[in-house]
Amino acid sequence: MEKELDTAVVELFPKGSKIVVTPHGHSDWATTERVHTTAPDGSQKEYFLKTLKADDGDERVRGEYISMSEIYRTLPGIAPEPRGYGKCNKGGAYFFLCDFLHINKDALPNSVRLGKKLAELHRKSVSPTGKFGFHCTTFDGKLPLTTGWDSNWTSFFTKLIRGVYELDIKVNGLWKELDDTMTITFEKLIPRLLDPLTANGRAIKPCLIHGDLWESNIGTIEHTEEIYIFDACAYYAHHEKELGIWRCRHHQLHTPHYREEYLKNFEASEPKAEFDDRNRLYSVETLLINSAHSPGSETRSEALNELNWLVNKYLGEM
Q: Does residue 10 have a pLDDT over 90?
A: yes
Q: Is residue 4 part of a domain?
A: no
d(CA 118, CA 126): 14
Q: If you average pLDDT over every residue of the chain, what do you get? A: 95
Residues 90 and 202 occupy one common structural domain: no
Asked whether residue 90 is domain-assigned, the answer is yes
The answer to which of 28-32, 78-82, 152-156, 238-242 has the lowest mean pLDDT is: 28-32
Q: Can you state the angle between helices 153-172 and 275-293, rounded to 10 degrees? A: 30
Q: Answer yes or no: pTM beyond 0.85.
A: yes
Q: Are residues 80 and 120 in the same domain?
A: no
Q: Would residue 214 count as lying in a domain?
A: yes
Question: Which of 100, 120, 141 finishes a domain?
Answer: 100
Residue at which a domain ends, from 100, 122, 149: 100
**76 and 164 belong to one structural domain:** no
Confidence at residue 2, expressed as pLDDT on a 0 to 100 scale? 54
**Nearest-CA neighbor of 286 among 136, 122, 141?**
141
The answer to whether position 2 is within a domain reads: no
Q: What band does 1 get if pLDDT is binned at 50, 70 and 90? A: very low
219 shares its domain with 148? yes
Residues 85 and 148 in one domain: no
Same domain? 34 vs 128: no
Overall average pLDDT of the 39-63 stretch: 96
Same domain flag for 202 and 227? yes
Whether 240 maps to a domain, the answer reads yes
CB contact at 8 A, 233 and 90: no
163 and 262 part of one domain: yes
Are 146 and 231 members of one domain? yes
pLDDT computed for residue 206 by the predictor: 98
Q: How many domains does the chain have?
A: 2
DSSP string covering 243-272 = GGGGG-TTSTT-SHHHHHHHHHHSPPPSSG
CATH of residue 79's domain is 3.30.200.20
Q: How far is Cα 98 from Cα 87, in angstroms, rounded to an integer?
A: 15
Those residues with Cβ within 8 angstroms of residue 198's Cβ, 6 or more apart along the chain or in another chain: 152, 153, 154, 204
Residue 105 has pLDDT above 80, yes or no: no
Please give the residue range of the domain that contains residue 140.
108-314
Residue 222, pLDDT above cutoff 90: no
Residues 149 and 77 both lie in one domain: no
pLDDT digits 0-9 by tens, 259-299: 999 999 999 999 999 999 999 999 999 999 999 999 999 99
Q: Which of 25-29, 65-69, 234-238, 243-247 has the lowest mean pLDDT?
A: 25-29
Q: How far apart are CA 5 and CA 237, in angstroms?
A: 37
Instruction: Identify whether residues 125 and 268 lie together within a single domain.
Output: yes
Q: Answer yes or no: are the C-beta atoms of 41 and 29 closer than 8 Å.
A: no
Question: Residue 202 pLDDT > 80, yes or no?
Answer: yes
CB 263 within 8 A of CB 256: no
Q: What are the contacts of 154-160 at 24+ separation with CB within 8 A?
A: 154/190, 154/191, 154/194, 154/195, 154/197, 154/198, 156/132, 156/237, 157/190, 157/194, 157/237, 157/238, 157/241, 157/282, 157/285, 158/186, 158/190, 160/285
Is residue 3 situated within a structural domain?
no
Is pLDDT larger for residue 105 or for residue 237? 237
Q: Which of 41, 69, 100 corresponds to the end of one domain?
A: 100
Burial 61-93 (b: 16+ CB within 10 A, else e): bbbbbbbbbbbbebbeebbbebbbbbebeeeeb
Query: What pLDDT was estimated at residue 316?
Result: 81
Output the CA angle 7-138-218, nearest 5 degrees: 85
| Residue 30 placed within a domain | yes
Residues 204 and 302 both lie in one domain: yes
The predicted model gives 150-171 an average pLDDT of 98
- Whether 141 is covered by a domain: the verdict is yes
Looking up residue 264, the CATH number of its domain turns out to be 3.90.1200.10
